[in-house]
Chain A
Amino acid sequence: MADSPEEIKKHLTLYKIIGATLFVCTVLTVAVAKIELLDFGARGFDTADMVLGLLIALFKSTLVAVVFMHLSSEKKMIYWLFGFGLIGAFFLMAITAFAFADPIHYEGFFGR
């Protein structure tokens, strides 16, 4: 992370560019959902729109995390902490998914 005043000043332009990119990406997300010409896949909302919308959101959030939250130049320990949070979140999603795969939902499980 930049610490000297000169280095910090240099980053100001980068912050402005990232901010503008975030605005543009937000407009793009809405355009993909609202404008027929940009409706990929089947008509209306479908998997293609969902994937595209989430990819744009992922791109935007990466910009925020990497530049605004200074993850691009952080110490190793921060990566471990943030990574731990992400893995924990995916683990929570996974255990919910496993609950749906529980054989208790299968009628034959009880011999019926």
Chain B
Amino acid sequence: MEIPYIVEPRKDTGLNNSKIAIWLFLASEVMLFGGLFSGYIFLRIYADYPWPERTLPVLPGLINTFILIASSITVVFAWVALKLGNWRKFQIHMSITLACAALFMVFKAVEYKAKLEHQAIRLDDYTVIEGHAYPQVKGGDKKITKNLNIKASQVQIDLKRIDDIYYETMGAQYEGKFTLADRLELNSGTVFEKDTEISKSMIDAAKEDLIKALANNSNINIAVARQASSDAGDQPHLKGKRYYDKDRKDFIAKRTKELKTAEKDNYADVTESLTFKSKEGKVDISVNPRWGKLSNSKEGEDGTLKLKDETLISGTTANSSIEIHVDGIDFRHTVMKAVEKGIDPEAAINNSWLLKDAGMKLIWDKHLVSVAKLEESLVGTDHVPTDVELYRVNWQEIAGLEKHSIADLKGMTHSEIKKLFPGDIEGFAGPNHGKVTYPAITVPREQVRFEAVFSPRWNTYYATYFTITGLHGLHIIGGALVLGYYLFFGRKMFDSNPEWLANRVEVGGLFWHFVDLVWIFLFPILYLM
């Protein structure tokens, strides 16, 4: 079948069909990204926490901007080459465009990786600390260790909610260590004696029995309800009464009770949960914090670890602290909360849990000297230090001032202090933990208000960052696939109908320019504002 108006324009629109189609698509894309940008704007305006402004390392974003601009130029050149009938030049320019797309995604991946390895903790007093929560060993395992730990004496499994994936993950920690607390007799006749060891097959049998019992009981209840309703219809004094009539409702309630009593022997026993006791002493159980929550996070006290499938693990809370190598301290949220409560911000900072640690106190004292020097440098101008400068210590400051004493810093000017800070290249996509050993602190779990890596879970800024840049990245991949198709499979069309191929490349190029156009706004909004 021949597709009409792919080269020559339609008379009514003056355009070929593919061009109208791509512009219609781009119009919908403008609305899609416009909606996401508006979401970002309103989340930022109404944020109830200090917005992480200018927090992303600029270099990867800047390089990616250059890459996209370069690819926008080469894609136009590729189209020009086709229009001039030069296949070789088309190949060169389109190959560069695709290389740019690949490079863009590589830089994006480097950036995402750095974010997903970077831990943040909001302490109970709203102090935010950032850093790496895994051992700082070169080439070592980068698995973040921050599990919730409990010395368990009892595990209670909710048969209605238990999920296979939870048991499959946790089972190894239970099996051989926990036994049934009471004798269990199922409706099917199967019996599990007291002290039988916990097993998947036992839980599956009990779960299946529960489902059958609930279905059986539900069927009886439905039959009873129907019978009661039918009996109500047979009552002369209730004839013509609607379902909401009080007399009718009272009759049905009474009749239902009678019928249920008559059926009582047919109801199956419902066992909704199974309780297991530890065989000997207390058993160490360790769970990823995403899977559950501790009722009491104080080490050594009684507590319960509740998993998301309602499994309750009771015992004594064990050490669930997080060791973190700190590359960022942010007191802005502490100050915000102090101001809300009418407390002096300085007092709130000085009384914070973090500054009870000598290493952290030293970092903060150096920061105060740096701020004092900044204030000195601003004397005679209209300017004052920003909240970020006053209350946030970033990785450059920690790394740069690490080897200098407070006395040293007091003898320097602000610009001399700034010169000690490492440049952007050293922390290309985030703090460089390879060059500097950042001071470590152990944060007890009861001090942790919230913790996450810099993922969408951490705050709405990162949620929008990952959503918009992720969607943009998918556009890059989609665009590259289309342009790659023209490059690798376009030769035949170039020989038979070069104008058609040129039109196709123009349409693909329009999409590519649009992707560049979105990034032109994304870069300053996410990286520089």
Give every chain B residue within 8 A of A29 (Cβ-Cβ): 523-524, 528
Q: How far is the CB of B460 from chain A (nearest CB, A)?
A: 14
Q: Does A106 contact B (CB under 8 A)?
A: no
Give every chain B residue within 8 A of A5 (Cβ-Cβ): 83-84
Closest residue of chain A to B378, judged by CB?
A43
Contact residues, B30-77 vs A (CB, 8 A): 30-31, 33-35, 37-39, 41-42, 46, 53-54, 58, 62, 65-66, 69-70, 72-73, 76-77
Candidates B23, B30, B378, B517; contact of A88 at CB < 8 Å: B30
Interface bits A21-43 vs B (CB < 8 Å: 1, else 0): 01100100110011000000011
**Interface residues on chain B, number (Cβ under 8 Å):** 58
Q: Does B489 contact A (CB under 8 A)?
A: no
Q: Does A89 contact B (CB under 8 A)?
A: yes
Interface bits A64-85 vs B (CB < 8 Å: 1, else 0): 1100110000010110011011
Q: How far is the CB of B432 from chain A (nearest CB, A)?
A: 19
Bound complex: CA A15 to CA B517 (Å): 16
Residue pair B13, A43 in contact (C-beta under 8 Å): no
Contact residues, A71-107 vs B (CB, 8 A): 75, 77-78, 81-82, 84-86, 88-90, 92-93, 96-97, 100
Q: Does B386 contact A (CB under 8 A)?
A: yes
Give every chain A residue within 8 A of B66 (Cβ-Cβ): 23, 26
**Known contacts A23-B66, A96-B38: does B80 contact A11 (CB below 8 Å)?**
yes
Q: How far is the CB of B378 from chain A (nearest CB, A)?
A: 8
Give every chain B residue within 8 A of A30 (Cβ-Cβ): 58, 62, 528
Candidates B15, B514, B521; contact of A69 at CB < 8 Å: B514
Q: Which 10 A-B pairs have the closest CB atoms?
A: A89-B34, A85-B27, A44-B386, A85-B30, A93-B38, A33-B528, A19-B73, A43-B383, A88-B31, A53-B524
Q: Which residues on B are within 8 Å of A, measured CB to CB? A: 13-15, 19-20, 23-24, 26-31, 33-35, 37-39, 41-42, 46, 53-54, 58, 62, 65-66, 69-70, 72-73, 76-77, 80, 83-84, 378, 383-389, 509-510, 513-514, 516-517, 520-521, 523-525, 528-529
Supplied contacts A53-B525, A86-B30, A96-B38, 11 more A-B pairs, CB within 8 Å: A8-B83, A30-B62, A33-B524, A53-B524, A61-B517, A64-B516, A75-B14, A78-B15, A85-B27, A85-B29, A92-B35
